[in-house]
Amino acid sequence: MGQAAATAKGLGVPNMGLAMIPGHAGIQSPVELRNNVRKVTAQMVIDNLLRSAGEQEWEREPGSRDIVCSGQFDEIQDLFYSKGWSDGSPFVPPTIEKVEAFLRYTDRDSNEVLGVVLPENRAASIWCIAVNGVMAGCKPEYMPILVALVEAMCDPVYGVEHSGNTPGSETLIVLNGPIIKQLGFNYEQGVMRDGFRPNTTVGRFWRLALRNIAGFKLHGTDKGTFGNNFRVVLAENEDALAKISWQPHSADMGFKAGDNTVYITRLTGGTVLPSVTGSTPEEFMPYIADGVAKQNGWEIIFTVGNLGYGTLRPVLILTPILAEAIAKAGWSKDDLKRYLFDHARLPAHRVEDYTERWTNHPIGSLVEHARLGKIPPVFAESEDPNRLVPLVFQPDHFVVLVSGDPLRTNAYTFAHNGFLGFPVARKIQLPKNWIPPAP
């Protein structure tokens, strides 16, 4: 009910009448659910229809350049936390001077609005981006990346409004281009661990932007059941990619190799595939394909379920030495994706269990779904319940990245949150007077 009230306010209807179903509908018997709806929900609907909603006064919020407080460091930390503007960790107080330093790294007007984002229907302005960049501990020269990230956030295809959904999925930011080296991003050992300022602070910026621009806050509009912490930025190892003549991920997304780009995708969880062993892809790829398949469980509903057909985009990250071994055998990145399509599979009966029995996304059967034209024929090549079916509609729905420790034969795979965080990418627009900082 609290989430519904907060969302209604963001949608501009703070007085919307709300009706409650006691408990969780997913674990009630039909008899329990019917009784709850009749005795509680129906009466609340009637009550809401019979009374006037009345007027609602909107709380005044400070303007972009208003000084909201002054004082000692701890006093500012406490005030921001009490207002819900802070994530609870120490932040850099966003003074006018610090914000304006960020604005010098973009040619955009500080009042420009990139979009209006849910759930609170807030304007994502260049000024707000700079404020949250300061708070996150970013350097001013990261500003072009932050702007591109919020442009991606505002893309309706991404679906930022789903950032607080109950699985608690979290966004992965992938960075490509010369800016990786220019700004000192880590793209080797420990690439997904905090410790390098660019990777860490840009990742934290994303969570602060979700809080302060979009309006996602715990016990309010963010209903992640368990939740996850933010992920640091994953920068691709473009030197390793060039060595094996594979295109960077930015080129997979339609940009030119060498463009500075950001890519965002919301992932439910991941696991490492350590100690990959074998001198040829035929020897070690079965292990990797098995790991990719096992990481995907209920997420298969985004491929064959009624939520968003064909919207699953699983991620596989290879260390450079593994990518090199694959390329040495003559495989392209497309060949690798085809292998995953053919071998990272689940038994048909398991897929139907996820949709028909274990979650509330019934499809009847894969064969019937294919007959209706909702999923490709490959999911219904027979009626054998033990037949293996793919995770995605087509091979290029797999996302393959190269990064991490160049001397380790490890891989990492993530499951994806489907259309509730669908991948989008943006080119990073550098200011006309851009001069890369000294390393």
Write down the residue that tokens 């939520």 correspond to: 307
Write down the residue that tokens 């001069």 correspond to: 435
Tell me the Cα Rg of the chain. 24
Which letter, b or e, does each residue of 306-332 get, where b requires 16 or more Cβ atoms within 10 Å of its Cβ?
Answer: eebbbbbbbbbbbbbbbbbbbbeeebe
pLDDT at site 305? 87
Domain boundaries, the chain: 2-23+33-45, 232-421
Closest CA to 416 of 322, 305, 332, 297: 297
The Cα 98–Cα 436 span in angstroms is 19
pLDDT at site 52? 80
- Name 416's bridge partners: 267
Q: Provide CB contacts within 8 A for 5, sequence distance 6+.
A: 14, 18
Phi, then psi, of 276 in degrees rounded to 5: -65, 130
Q: Strands 345-347 and 424-427: what pairing?
A: unpaired
Q: Provide CB contacts within 8 A for 72, sequence distance 6+.
A: none
Residue ranges for the chain with pLDDT beneath 50? none
Task: Please answer whether residues 75 and 37 qualify as being in contact, where contact means their C-beta atoms are separated by less than 8 angstroms.
Answer: no
Q: Strands 315-318 and 399-402: what pairing?
A: parallel
The Cα 331–Cα 341 span in angstroms is 15
Task: Concatenate the DSSP letters of all residues of 80-104 into one string.
Answer: HHHHT-S-SS------HHHHHHHHT
Task: Please answer whether residues 242 and 258 qualify as being in contact, where contact means their C-beta atoms are separated by less than 8 angstroms.
Answer: no
- Name 370's bridge partners: none
Task: Please answer whether residues 361 and 306 qualify as being in contact, where contact means their C-beta atoms are separated by less than 8 angstroms.
Answer: yes
pLDDT at site 4? 82
pLDDT at site 439? 63
pLDDT at site 232? 98
Angle at 211 between CA 26 and CA 9, to 5 degrees: 65
Question: Virtual CA dihedral for 118, 121, 122, 124, nearest 10 degrees?
Answer: 60
| Burial (CB count within 10 angstroms: exposed 0-12, middle 13-18, buried 19+), residue 438 | exposed
Q: What three-state secondary structure class fits 212?
A: helix
Angle at 76 between CA 75 and CA 82, to 5 degrees: 90
pLDDT at site 15? 80
pLDDT at site 42? 92
Q: Strands 345-347 and 388-390: what pairing?
A: antiparallel
- Name 113's bridge partners: 125
Write down the residue that tokens 């009784």 correspond to: 35
Task: Please answer whether residues 333 and 246 qualify as being in contact, where contact means their C-beta atoms are separated by less than 8 angstroms.
Answer: yes
Phi, then psi, of 370 in degrees rounded to 5: -65, -40
pLDDT at site 354? 92
The Cα 292–Cα 345 span in angstroms is 9
- Give the number of other CB atoms < 10 A from CB of residue 384: 10
| Burial (CB count within 10 angstroms: exposed 0-12, middle 13-18, buried 19+), residue 226 | exposed
What are the pLDDT digits (tens) for 28-82?
888 889 998 998 999 989 988 988 877 767 677 888 888 999 999 999 999 999 9
The Cα 379–Cα 17 span in angstroms is 44
First and final CA of the chain: distance in angstroms?
51
pTM: 0.92
Question: Virtual CA dihedral for 223, 228, 229, 231, nearest 10 degrees?
Answer: -120
- Give the number of other CB atoms < 10 A from CB of residue 38: 10
Q: What three-state secondary structure class fits 282?
A: helix
